[in-house]
Amino acid sequence: MSNAIKVGLACCASLAAVLVVNAFRGAPAASPEVVMVSKGIDVDAGSVAERLAESLRFATVSHRDEAEVERAPFVAMRAWAEQSYPLLHDPALVERHDVGEGQLFILRGSEPLEDPVLLLAHVDVVPAEAASRDAWTYDPFGGVIADGYVWGRGSLDDKASAISIYEAMEALLRAGIQPRRTLIAAIGEDEEVRGLRGAARLADLLLTLDVRAFMVLDEGMALLDGAFEGVQSEVGLIGVTERGYATLELLAEAEGGHSSMPPERSAVFSLSRALARLEEHPMDAHIDGVVGELLDRLRFEQPPLQRLVTSNPWLFGGLITRQMESAPGSNAMLRTTFAPTIVRAGEVENSLPTQARAWVNARIHPSDTVSGVLAHVRALVADLGVTVSSLEGASEPPLASPASGRAWELLCRSMSVVAPDCVQAPSLVVGATDARHYARLSDHVYRFVPMRLKPEDLPRIHGVDERISVENLAELVRFYLELALSA
C-alpha cells in the first residue's frame, strides 16, 4: 500500500471518528421526575371549556385602524369576565388597571421583594373571513363544544391562554393560596394588529410602576407532535426570541402618458423587476444561534444517520440548510423573509401610471437588523431607479433570552408536569408576539403555551376550524398553576 493511500485511509478513519464522536457528544441528562405542587387545586375541565366557549361568542376582532375597531364586543367580554371571575375582579384581592386596549391584573405575592412573574395573553382575534365561513364545521363565533373540543375563532389564538390564566388566578384566590412571587396578568386586546394600543401601553405602565419581572411568558410556541422529521417524541418548544418586523415601501416613478406609446422604462415594469429580484436573491441563511441550539437538542431524538448529519453542521451545513429551506415554516427560522403584500399602480387601462408602489413585509432574523435589510434591498434594486424606505413601526429582533437558569428551569418544570415525556428545546418564533413590547421589563422573556399541536393543526390558527381539546385546555390551567406555585 502506498503512503498516499495509507494517509488517505487514516484521514477517512479520523473523519468518521470525529463525525461519530460529535453525534454522541453532550447528550442531555435525563430530566428528574417532577412533583405536582398544585395537586390540592381541582381543575374541572368541563367548566373551563364552558367558560372558554362563552368567551368565543364575543367577536373581539381587532383592527390596525383604531377608528374601525368595534369596541362593544370587547366591553361585553370584560363585563362577562367580571361576572365569571369575581375574585379576580375584587379590588380588595387584585389590583386592576384598565389601559387603552388592555388590562393588567396584579395578585400580590407573599414575598414582596421577589420580582414578579408576568403572564401575557390576548383576547382579540383575527376575523373569520366571509369566504371561508361555509368551510367551518361550527359557527366560528358560536362557542361550540363538540367531539371533545371547544371550537371557534380564538380557541387556540389566544383566548385559551387568556382564559386559562384567569382560571388559574381565580382558583388560587378561591383556595386562599398566596403565591410567593407576585403574579401579573397582562391581557392585550390588539395583539393581532401589533399591540401598540394594548401591550405597548401596558408595558409602559409597568415601567412607571417600577416592575422588573423575574420572567415574562407569552404565547408563540407549543407542544408539537410530528413536526420534526425523524423525531418521535413530542417536542416542547420554548420561544426565546422572535423575528423583527419591517414593512418596506418600494416606489418606482416614471413619466406618464398614453399607453399607445410606452417609454423605454415604465413604473410598473421597474417595480416588477425589483420584486422579482427580491424573490431571486433571498437573504443569507443562518443555522447558528437559537436555531443551532434547537437542532443541537433535537439531534438526540433522530435516527442514527440523520443524527450524524445534524451533529456535524461544520460539514453538512449546506445539506441541513437545503432541507430546512424546503418548507416555509423552517425556512422562516433560517433567514429574513420578504412577503410582498400590497401592490398599487394605475387607475385606467390606457394611461401609464407615474408611480408604482409595493409594500413588502419583512420578518427580520435575529442575525440581521432593520438597517441591514434595507441596505440589502436597496443594493438589489439600485440600478432600477426604485427607491426603498421602511414604514413607521419597524422593530429589531429582540435579544434572545437564555435557555438556562432559574426562569428557564421553572418553565421546563411546569411543562414537565403536564407533558412528562416531551423533549424541551429553545426556539425562534417566526411571527411577532406581544412579548417584544415587554423586553424592557425582563432579561427572561419566553413564548410558550402547552397547546398540543400536530402539523395538521397549524393551519387552524388564523384559519378554518380552530379548536382546542377540552383535555388540553385543563392542562393549560394546570401549567399556569404550577408556574405560579413553584416560582
Please give the residue ranges that form the binding site for Zn ion (CB under 5 A). 157-158
Minimum CB distance to Zn ion, residue 37 (Å): 28
Q: Which is nearer to Zn ion, 120 or 295 (CB)?
A: 120
Minimum CB distance to Zn ion, residue 110 (Å): 32
The residues, ordered by sequence, that sit 6+ positions from 101 with a Cβ below 8 Å of its Cβ are 62, 69, 74, 124, 188, 189, 190, 197, 198, 201
Enter the C-alpha cell of residue 339: 412577503
Closest C-alpha among 317, 316, 311, 315 to residue 23: 311
How does DSSP assign 168-225, residue by residue?
HHHHHHHHTPPPSS-EEEEEES-GGGTSTTTHHHHHHHHHHTT---SEEEESS--EES
Minimum CB distance to Zn ion, residue 156 (Å): 8
Minimum CB distance to Zn ion, residue 7 (Å): 58
Hey, is 412 helix, strand or coil?
helix
Q: Which is nearer to Zn ion, 122 or 376 (CB)?
A: 122
164, 98 contact by CB (below 8 A): no
Q: Tell me how far CA of residue 75 lies from CA of 84, 203, 391, in angstroms.
A: 14, 21, 32
345, 271 contact by CB (below 8 A): yes
Minimum CB distance to Zn ion, residue 124 (Å): 8
Q: Which is nearer to Zn ion, 126 or 400 (CB)?
A: 126
Q: Which is nearer to Zn ion, 199 or 248 (CB)?
A: 199
Q: Which is nearer to Zn ion, 154 or 426 (CB)?
A: 154
CA distance 213 to 186: 12
> Of 191, 219, 368, 434, which is the active-site residue?
191
CA distance 484 to 215: 11
Q: Is 189 a catalytic residue?
A: no
The residue behind cell 409597568 is 206
3-state DSSP helix/strand/coil percent for the chain, to nearest 5? 40, 20, 40
Q: Which is nearer to Zn ion, 157 or 190 (CB)?
A: 157
The residue behind cell 444561534 is 289
Minimum CB distance to Zn ion, residue 219 (Å): 5
469, 148 contact by CB (below 8 A): yes
Q: Which is nearer to Zn ion, 270 or 433 (CB)?
A: 433
The residue behind cell 426570541 is 241
294, 427 contact by CB (below 8 A): yes
Minimum CB distance to Zn ion, residue 394 (Å): 20
Angle at 181 between CA 177 and CA 182, to 5 degrees: 85
Q: Is 204 a catalytic residue?
A: no
Q: Name the residues annotated as catalytic.
A: 124, 191
